[in-house]
Amino acid sequence: MHKSTITIRDVAKAAGVSVSTVSRVLNDRDGVSPTTYQRVRQVIEELNYASNLAARSMRLQQTGVIGVVAPDLRSAFTLQVIRSVSAAVEERGYELLVFTSSRVDGEEDQALREQRHVHLLNSGLTDGTIVLTPHATTFPSERPVVVIDPNRHGVEVPAVLSTNYAGARAAMAYLFELGHRRIGFVGGRPDLQSAVRRWEGYRDSLMEQGISLDPTLVCRGDFTREGGYACGQRLLSLAQPPTAIFAANDESAIGVLKAARDLGVPVPQALSVVGFDNITESAWTTPPLTTVDQALEGMGQAAVDLLFESMAGKPVAAVHKVATELVIRESCGPPAR
């Protein structure tokens, strides 16, 4: 069933030419007579030949493939960024290869895994690689590497980040404007830089309004729906529940929405909810979620731009910030009298 590999040599033999001629035809190099070209092309077609990426990449520096190393395919954030990277990469006529490292053992292992995967790709298969939400801060690699939303400080390769702090401030400003004073917070994993920045935005906003931080209103989630649901349940069961909840990402916010629904708390009448990310999902919730748009498309695009500049040998900025913007939908209103 599985045909034994057809190599360039087989093609050469069948066409009665040398391998180099076939190679020239394959790569559309000059210096091949039209007659020969035709014949070789035909044989390639007949034999259903396709060149071997491994061999090819070992000889060339260019492969026309960009790699992506993603922690796992579970989160909507990851997926949407991959999709935007995919679009940007294809626009440039490159292909995309994704390596997943879903098995999350420990944080240390995670970083090592990321590095290994980057090497695996960048040592020949790909012309450059983009790493999503990496734990590693350094990548020994022969080809350019760009990271998106790194989890730790001090990353030694170009990074694309969004304005997490400013975005959180904007969300809070909106809630204040509506009249909310008692605002709950559903945080993300404290080991993630983005989660920390959003938390700081929440905290500082309160402070500026002269509202003292109430620890009972802060719940530590984990960026998942389930986590958000649990936090929502806890916050809404308080003797004095918040009139608004700012969730550090949309998945958490969706969990809060569900908790509110299960507890019979109408949104936005009795509770306002704001998320962060603007994943496509958030436009489809009931009610549609007001959230901080992280321009996920923009992040993928920016990362690809940085990567190609880097591949072209140009010096690139160490950090590229993508602006956030509040998207107002229907999950917020003034506090219930």
| Amino acid letter for position 283 | A
Q: Which does 48 bind (CB under 5 to 8 A by kind): a copy of itself, DNA, none?
A: a copy of itself
Task: Name the one range near a copy of itself by CB under 8 A: 36-44, 46-54, 231-239, 321-329.
Answer: 46-54
Q: Which of a copy of itself, DNA, none interacts with 21 (beta carbon under 5 to 8 A by kind)?
A: DNA
Sequence-distant (≥ 6) Cβ neighbours of residue 127 within 8 angstroms: 61, 62, 63, 64, 65, 66, 94, 143, 144, 311
Among DNA, a copy of itself, none, the one that 102 touches (CB under a kind-dependent 5 to 8 A) is: a copy of itself
Would you say 333 and 179 are in contact if contact means Cβ atoms under 8 Å apart?
no
Residue in this structure with the two tokens 């350019």, named with its chain if needed: 144
Out of 50, 215, 240, 337, the only residue in the binding site for a copy of itself (CB under 8 A) is 50
CB 188 within 8 A of CB 249: yes
| Shorter beta-carbon distance to a copy of itself: residue 217 or 303 | 303
Residue type, 261: R
Positions in 259-298 near a copy of itself (CB under 8 A): 261, 281, 284-286
Shortest approach of a copy of itself to residue 319 CB, angstroms? 16
Minimum distance of a copy of itself from residue 205's CB (angstroms): 29
Helix, strand, coil share of the chain (percent; to 5): 45, 15, 40
Least separation, in Å, of the C-beta of 13 and DNA? Answer: 11
- Return the range that interacts with a copy of itself (CB under 8 A); candidates 14-22, 25-33, 92-100, 296-304: 92-100
Q: Is 211 exposed, middle or buried (0-12, 13-18, 19+ CB in 10 A)?
A: middle
Residue 36 contact among DNA, a copy of itself, none, beta carbon within 5 to 8 Å by kind: DNA
Q: Which of 135, 143, 197, 198 binds a copy of itself (CB under 8 A)?
A: 143
Distance in angstroms (rounded) separating the CA atoms of residues 302 and 279: 18
